[in-house]
């Protein structure tokens, strides 16, 4: 399941969100090492430019994917640049802990927009191209999409919703050649986790329920599973929800 097998993605074109850092960057690197042409997407132009050197095999676009028009622009730009689209990895996400009673309407809309609406908008825009080339979608949810987590009502709601979106689309397109799957990571050594802040006066016994006894994972370990799901080796995997969490959910 290693993500670096040379040539396994030769001739494939991928869009990866959150490509400038963390898990998205690890997925981008593995797809490129496997021969894919990758169109990276993120919010920060400077970070994208630093992580993804524009060239024959790589391109990028800074975009706010919570805007449906931006999702369409990304897909059109990728197809114009590389001639088609085979793989979509919705890896971008955001998590801010808050006391539920203090979650504002804007907080709620923000968390759902980034973690659920953006993957939907991009998937909708990409579908015609993916169907044309029997491509695949891999959504990145979280173990927060499989369990409750304290101070994370909006995040959990969005990530549960992303699993539901994956299953609904997989059923709808079951006979159409496209494959649609989801990965639910646990904690990783990403900038989002390393820069994490907690709400005021939290109950740390509740927060520690998120932690895995084996500790944080390297993003490359999760990227290995994502790139496997994008590869020909996973040709029989459709509608699956993969948990990659260092054993946390088994406890």
Model confidence at 76, pLDDT cuts 50, 70, 90, reads very high
User: Looking at residue 168, what is its pLDDT?
Assistant: 98
Q: Is residue 4 pLDDT above 80, yes or no?
A: no
Q: What is the pLDDT of residues 116-167, one digit of tens each?
A: 999 999 999 999 999 999 999 999 999 999 999 999 999 999 999 999 999 9
Please state the pTM of the whole predicted model. 0.93
Q: Is residue 188 pLDDT above 50, yes or no?
A: yes
Q: Is residue 74 pLDDT above 90, yes or no?
A: yes
Q: In angstroms, how far is CA 233 from the centroid of its own chain?
A: 20
For the sheet with 136-140, list strands across it.
Answer: 58-62, 37-42, 13-17, 87-90, 136-140, 179-185, 241-244
Average pLDDT over residues 240-247: 95
Q: Which domains does the chain have, with CATH numbers?
A: 13-244 (3.40.50.720)
User: Looking at residue 190, what is its pLDDT?
Assistant: 84
User: Looking at residue 129, what is its pLDDT?
Assistant: 98
Q: Is residue 52 pLDDT above 90, yes or no?
A: no
User: Looking at residue 69, what is its pLDDT?
Assistant: 97
> What are the angstrom distances between the C-alpha of 238 and each of 137, 171, 182?
10, 9, 9
Model confidence at 46, pLDDT cuts 50, 70, 90, reads confident
Q: Which residues are catalytic, by number?
A: 155
User: Looking at residue 160, what is its pLDDT?
Assistant: 98
Choose among 128, 134, 157, 146: nearest CA to 183: 146
What does pLDDT average to over the chain?
Answer: 93
Model confidence at 56, pLDDT cuts 50, 70, 90, reads low
Average pLDDT over residues 2-28: 87
Q: Is residue 49 pLDDT above 90, yes or no?
A: no
Q: What is the pLDDT of residues 206-229, one digit of tens each?
A: 988 888 888 889 999 999 999 999
User: Looking at residue 1, what is its pLDDT?
Assistant: 45
User: Looking at residue 228, what is its pLDDT?
Assistant: 98
């Amino acid at each position: 399941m290693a993500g670096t097998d040379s040539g396994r993605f030769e001739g494939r074109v991928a869009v990866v969100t959150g490509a400038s850092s963390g898990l998205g960057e690890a997925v981008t690197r593995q797809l490129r090492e496997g021969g894919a042409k990758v169109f990276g997407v993120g919010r920060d132009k400077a970070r994208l430019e630093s992580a993804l050197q524009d060239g024959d095999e790589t391109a990028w676009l800074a975009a706010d994917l919570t805007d449906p028009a931006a999702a369409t622009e990304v897909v059109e730009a990728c197809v114009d640049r590389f001639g088609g689209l085979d793989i979509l990895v919705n890896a971008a996400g955001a998590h801010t802990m808050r006391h539920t009673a203090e979650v504002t309407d804007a907080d709620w809309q923000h968390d759902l927009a980034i973690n659920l609406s953006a993957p939907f908008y991009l998937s909708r825009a990409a579908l015609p191209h993916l169907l044309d080339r029997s491509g695949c979608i891999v959504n990145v949810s979280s173990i927060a999409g499989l369990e409750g987590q304290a101070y994370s009502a909006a995040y959990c709601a969005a990530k549960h919703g992303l699993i539901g979106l994956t299953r609904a689309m997989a059923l709808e397109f079951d006979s159409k050649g496209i494959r649609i799957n989801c990965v639910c990571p646990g904690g990783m050594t990403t900038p989002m986790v390393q820069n994490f802040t907690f709400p005021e006066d939290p109950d740390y016994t509740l927060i520690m329920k998120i932690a895995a006894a084996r500790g944080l994972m390297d993003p490359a370990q999760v990227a290995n599973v994502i790139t496997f799901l994008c590869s020909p080796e996973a040709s029989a995997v459709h509608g699956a929800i993969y948990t990659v969490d260092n054993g946390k959910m088994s406890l």
